[in-house]
Amino acid sequence: MLFPFAEYWWFYAGFLVFVLFMLGLDLGVFNRKAHAVTFKEATVWSVVWVVLALSFCFGFYQYTSSIHGTTIGKNAALEFLTGYVIEYSLSVDNIFVFVLVFSYFGIPAKYKHRVLFYGILGALIFRAIFIALGSALMQFHWVIYLFGGFLIVTGIKMMFGGHNEIEPEKNLLLRIFRRIMPVDHTIDGKSFFKKVSGRWHATPLFVALLFLEATDIVFAVDSVPAIFAVTSEPLIVFTSNIFAILGLRSMYFMLAGVIHKFHLIQYGLAVVLVFVGLKMVWLNDAFGGKFPITWSLGIIAGAIGLSIVLSIVFPPREHDEKPADEDGKLNGGDGTV
């Protein structure tokens, strides 16, 4: 391990301070007032997050090279970049869920950023927990094969299963929550909770947030093992994962209106999952313990890029598309909780 936590805890702490600063800047300065995020604004923020990730990658390369040499520094930077591309690509699947959840609960456009902000904040916490657990479990060799097999099965299911319908009423977490706290069906500004007849009720904003957190845990089960297929360094897994999540909100606002046009991207994501699964159960061993990281990056980027290009060349049939209205709500959504 190049960066054991006991020696580099300050690196983790400094990175978390940077993340919290950026999130505070986002909510407290640029998005202090509730408003519908425009395509231009989302695009600018998407570029900002990507540039920050690439800048970190370059700085990480310089720092690692100064300690362990140029060869190891280059490999570590490529592992970060590959992990970032994997997580960022898999995040596209989250966008499909975001669109459906906001439609189902009838969340107005000007409040979506608030829900996603706290959703991303919760995702950061859960990913940190998953990465810590994964780092501990990956010390057992049989776990590598278990994770690899799981990713292969998940990729195959994604390839042939399509996207499932959102059914919050069947979600166990939400059913338990409703037994603890009543839910009001009307949206009261940007509040997550409101008093009705002297008793606190959750609003649709909080229920949507709770559902997004629950689905992110499911996504984390796929994405965290996928990055561990690229590197065994927890620091690289942690930073690449966090950077990808930080850019997820702006990517949603940029792509929400056109995401249905990339109808073949699920096949690209499926290929990525199957490939990283094969790395864990076979390819790494076949290549003397480590499949070339440059090949991994090329295969992953190629699979995602090809699926996007094919989606554009072979657009979906008109009756398969589900256009969104000005609030981002799909046709037919009634906002019922």
| Helix (H/G/I), strand (E/B), else coil: 324 | strand
pLDDT of residue 325: 43
Q: How far apart are CA 329 and CA 186, in angstroms?
A: 16
- CA torsion sign for 83, 84, 85, 88 is positive
pLDDT confidence of residue 270: 92
CA–CA gap between residue 112 and residue 36 (Å, rounded):
8
CB-count burial class (<10 Å; 0-12, 13-18, 19+) for 306: middle
- Cα–Cα distance, 311 to 263 (Å, whole number): 6
CB 330 within 8 A of CB 99: yes
Phi, psi (degrees; rounded to nearest 5) at 183: -120, 130
Helices (runs of H) and strands (runs of E) counted in the chain? 12, 2
The residue written with tokens 């313990």 in the block is: 289
Bridging pattern class, strands 199-202 and 193-196:
antiparallel
Long-range contacts of 73-77 (CB under 8 A, 24+ apart): 75/293, 76/2, 76/231, 76/233, 76/236
Give residues with Cβ within 8 angstroms of 327, minimum separation 6.
106, 107, 108, 109
Spatial separation of the C-alpha atoms in residues 252 and 87, rounded to whole Å: 14
Long-range contacts of 21-25 (CB under 8 A, 24+ apart): 22/52, 22/246, 23/117, 23/120, 23/121, 23/246
d(CA 278, CA 110): 43
- What DSSP string describes 201-233? EE-HHHHHHHHHHHHHHHHHHHHHHHHHTT---
DSSP string, 112-143: HHHHHHHHHHHHHHHHHHHHHHHHHHTTSHHH
Which tokens go with 194? 């409101």
Low-confidence ranges of the chain (pLDDT < 50): 323-337
Partner residues linked to 313 by β-bridges: none
Residue 150: Cβ within 10 Å count? 16
